[in-house]
Structure 1
Amino acid sequence: MAEADTKQSADQCKALTEDGERCSRPAQDGDFCFQHDESDPTVSESQTADEGEQADEQQADEQPRSRDLGVDMTAEEKTDPESVDADVDTEHEGIEGVLAIRRTVQSTATELIGREFDAVSEIVPTDDGWRAIVEVVERRAVPDTQDIIGRYEIELDEESTIHGYRRLDRYRRGDTAEFE
């Protein structure tokens, strides 16, 4: 395992970034990545050796390792997934109704409206049951950003029986100005 870490260290660009950290990109010809060259500050041979030793120590400790994606994360965001309590009690009853309505709307929208189903964009409980907003493709185009999408409101009772629908509006798939 230590040989792999040393090889990885040797294959890694030896330039320092603006933060003073070693560049994480793979080295190409001449020990530098595509972005760096000899004019950039570099790590010394002792730093390269120290990095290999640190990697060995980290492996020995068997701590979960996270990849550095260049994003600063808070301690809360770095939570180890295995330490999270998977038995957290959630309100499954609260979402079961919404999921049932979603399944009903997805399975019947194409037949009901007579157009190709695209998405469910909203499901809201009402006094009499549920209201779902679905999007259907009213006309295909090339490129697909020019597809004409229709937004429809479907009314359902508490037993998921559809009582009616109406078109709210139409828009081109690529037109996002109205939604921003």
Structure 2
Amino acid sequence: MAEADTQSREQCKALTEDGQRCSRPARDDGFCYQHDESDPTVSDSQAAQEEEQTDEQAEHGDVEESRSRGTVNMTAEEMTDPDEVDADVETDREEIAGILAVRQTVQSTAGELIGHEFDGVSEITPTDDGWRAVVEVVERRAVPDTQDIIGRYEIELDTDATVHGYRRVDRYRRGDTAQFE
């Protein structure tokens, strides 16, 4: 029981949005960096009970990993032992080299091609005729930078990473990320 009390003090005692106990380490006040006294908490008896259940499950080999929202536990057949994975699996080096060549071309030419400051590459996909890259450029700077106007452009390249055209597909404020979530 003393071990359970020690464990409950080491783990944050706040409840997460899905009603589970927070798995982060606790500070001196019993909460992690993200939680405080205003958050709902697990009582000490619940914490001790959770610890005992975890110990019993570990003895029987049926420990359930903590889950994030929307995830499902894997069965024993689905789990892979890292030692059994073939370390000699060969990746397609040519495809990786092609993607890197496209990325390099897009990075070096996007700002000059579009006429605005290059901000980043957000997508590179192969097409029937070559490659398609989506880049972001700063169309207008602002203070604070979360108010910058960002343009998303689609750039078409052939198989040799030669640019054949581009078009703007979207425009947004840097701080407006809701449309991408």
TM-score range relative to shorter protein: 0.5 to 0.7
1:105 paired residue number: 106
2:33 paired residue number: none
Post-superposition CA distance 1:2-61 (Å, at most 9, x none): xxxx9865511289x9xxxx99776979xxxx73446x35748xx69xx5xx99x9xxxx
Which has the larger displacement, 72-81 or 146-155?
Answer: 72-81
Residue 91 of structure 2 aligns to which amino acid in structure 1? T
- State the identity as a percent: 61
Displaced runs of 4+ in structure 1, greater than 4 A?
A: 6-10, 22-29, 41-44, 176-180
Q: Which has the larger radius of gyration?
A: 1
Superposed, 1:139-178 pairs within 5 Å as: 139-176=140-177
Q: Distance in 2 between matches of 1:81 and 1:154?
A: 39
2:74 paired residue number: 74
Aligned to 2:8, the other structure's residue is in SS state coil
1:114 paired residue number: 115
Aligned to 1:159, the other structure's residue is in SS state coil
Residues 156 and 67 of structure 1: is their aligned pair in 2 closer, same or farther, counting only changes over 3 Å?
same
The answer to whether the Cα contact below 8 Å between 1:155 and 1:163 also exists between their aligned partners in 2 is yes
- TM-score (ref. length: structure 2): 0.56
| Structure 1, gaps ≥5 residues long | 1-5, 58-65
The answer to whether the Cα contact below 8 Å between 1:130 and 1:156 also exists between their aligned partners in 2 is yes
Post-superposition CA distance 1:81-140 (Å, at most 9, x none): 333222223333234322211121122222333322222233344454333221111123
Aligned to 1:96, the other structure's residue is in SS state helix
| Structure 2, gaps ≥5 residues long | 16-20, 30-36
How far off is 1:148 after superposition?
0.7
Residues 152 and 27 of structure 1: is their aligned pair in 2 closer, same or farther, counting only changes over 3 Å?
closer
The answer to whether the Cα contact below 8 Å between 1:131 and 1:154 also exists between their aligned partners in 2 is yes
Aligned pair count?
154
- TM-score (ref. length: structure 1): 0.56
The answer to whether the Cα contact below 8 Å between 1:13 and 1:23 also exists between their aligned partners in 2 is no
